[in-house]
Chains A and B, each alone.
Chain A
């Protein structure tokens, strides 16, 4: 069975470290992008099953646009997109889902929860 591929799009170094460490037990093929343009390169070369994108406040629009474009793309449309954000209001979560996110996780989050969510995806 091939290893599942996950792409992490996250500009904060310690957040990347946290998520990397959290997902370690799953032995995924994890690639990391620090911004949206790096993300696109990796999306095309890696074709991950799941994309985990942090939509922190400054880059909220970029992150949600990325999500929308992935979901609307013919080739990548089946990719699961999980959004992580500090924005926790009802409207923020709605906006995330409207952009096509399969799941919306609010920061701070429990690593155990993230592990369970990523771990249960059927490749």
Chain B
């Protein structure tokens, strides 16, 4: 059973009303104020494992009010099977010493949910008797982020395995068998294309990783006009063979924006690339830049008359490695729009998609106009 973030917030709000209780008089009032302000739970237990003190944060993490916990055994905080075992506390200590908890420690909340925690214990002497001081931190969020990171890593590795299978397989065949020269050239061409695909995938993975690792610092923002960015992108864009050039319309006198020139060009390039790729039967690709009447936002739209997307797909295109059901024939990394979203989000903007299956797609980057322009 996993804890929900909403439940955590509810508990935290309720904890505001429940001060820490104590069977030990705290002589220094400053100490109590400090301890009640930390977000980690602080619990003091005696030799027999009974709770004698807990701070305000304890309720947020465990769900018990502080008064409820005073006098109770530590066992009420332990996860199953220790919770239900009369000898649970001793078994838990033994297992902890024996390094049984590979996944880390968990605690059991009043509602039965198990929360991943980090715990530190130290011994103190109070009233001449040994006590234990436990500091406990809820690490749910950290675990979730780590899990998401691991999933991404695994997904990336799988994506790389597929083109690698072609490269590995065709190389082996070329080495072990004899083919006509024409056939050899053809197979080498396949190896080459797969290697190029892997290169694109690796580059996009690194771009994504860099943005995620460095956040805002990955971007060099500068106030600048929109039109030069658009023109530079189109000028540098390699039109696929036998296709017409991008048809560009820029409204005159567009408000300026705060943008990282290179990253914005990269985002626009990815969108243009998709526009051509997903209109294999041909047709025009148009790019329009305009502002709203109040000059508060700039809209850059790329439109194609290609295969479009069926209902419900347009929200999924930002998912990593998502390529759509009908497009198995069209080779993409599945990361192009993921990158676009990351870049546009960091510009304070968002991306809008309009698409109808069989009719075409319009992708619009919406950016806030720079203030004072």
Interface stretch (choices B78-86, B169-177, B337-345): B169-177
Are B162 and A86 in contact (CB-based, < 8 A)? yes
**Contact pick for A108, options B161, B190, B193, B328, CB 8 Å:** B161
Query: Which one of A1-9, A14-22, A65-73 is at the B interface?
Result: A14-22
Which residues of chain A (72-111) have a CB below 8 Å from chain B? 86-87, 107-111
| In contact, B158 and A21 (Cβ under 8 angstroms) | no
At the interface, yes or no: B96 with Cβ under 8 Å from chain A?
no
Q: How many A-B residue pairs lie within 8 Å, measured between CB atoms?
A: 55
Residues of B within 8 A of A17 (CB): 190
Chain A residues, Cβ within 8 Å of B323? 58
Residue of A nearest to B193 (CB): A14
Name the distance in Å between A56's Cβ and chain B's nearest Cβ.
7
The CA-CA distance from A110 to B168 in the complex, in Å, is 7
> What A residues does B165 contact at CB under 8 A?
15, 18, 86, 107-109
Neighbouring B residues of A86 by C-beta, 8 Å: 158, 161-162, 165
From A57, which residue of chain B is reached at the shortest CB distance?
Answer: B158
Among A18, A21, A86, A111, find the residue whose CB has the most chain B CB atoms closer than 10 A.
Answer: A18
What is the number of residues of chain A that contact chain B, defined by CB distance less than 8 Å?
A: 21
CB A80 to nearest CB in B, in angstroms, measures 21
Q: Using a CB-CB cutoff of 8 Å, which residues 163-193 of chain B contact chain A? A: 164-170, 172-173, 176, 187, 190, 193
B contact residues around A12 at 8 Å (CB): 162, 328
> Is A13 an interface residue, CB under 8 A from the partner?
yes
Q: In the complex, what residues of B have CB within 8 A of residue A34's CB?
A: 328
Q: Are B158 and A108 in contact (CB under 8 A)?
A: no
Instruction: Please tell me if B196 contacts chain A, counting CB pairs below 8 Å.
Output: no
Q: Is the interface of B mostly helix, strand, loop or mixed?
A: helix
Q: Does A11 contact B (CB under 8 A)?
A: yes
Are B190's CB and A14's CB within 8 A? Answer: yes
B155, A108: Cβ atoms closer than 8 Å: no
* Structural contact, A111 and B158, CB atoms closer than 8 A: no
Interface contact B172-A57, CB-CB below 8 Å = no
Q: Which residues of A contact B161 (CB under 8 A)?
A: 86, 107-108
Asked if B224 is at the interface (CB within 8 A of a chain A CB), the reply is no
A87 to B169, CA, bound (A): 17
* Residues of B near any A CB (own CB < 8 A): 155, 158, 161-162, 164-170, 172-173, 176, 187, 190, 193-194, 323, 328-329
A interface residues (Cβ-Cβ under 8 A, vs B): 11-15, 17-18, 21-22, 34, 56-58, 86-87, 107-112
* Sample of 16 more A-B contacts, CB < 8 Å, known A18-B169, A108-B169: A12-B328, A15-B162, A15-B166, A18-B173, A22-B169, A34-B328, A56-B162, A58-B323, A86-B162, A107-B165, A109-B165, A109-B169, A111-B169, A111-B176, A112-B172, A112-B176
Q: Supply 23 A–B pairs (Cβ within 8 Å), ascending by A.
A: A13-B329, A14-B166, A14-B190, A14-B194, A15-B165, A18-B166, A18-B170, A21-B170, A22-B173, A34-B328, A56-B158, A56-B162, A58-B323, A86-B161, A86-B165, A107-B162, A107-B164, A107-B165, A108-B164, A109-B165, A109-B168, A109-B169, A111-B176
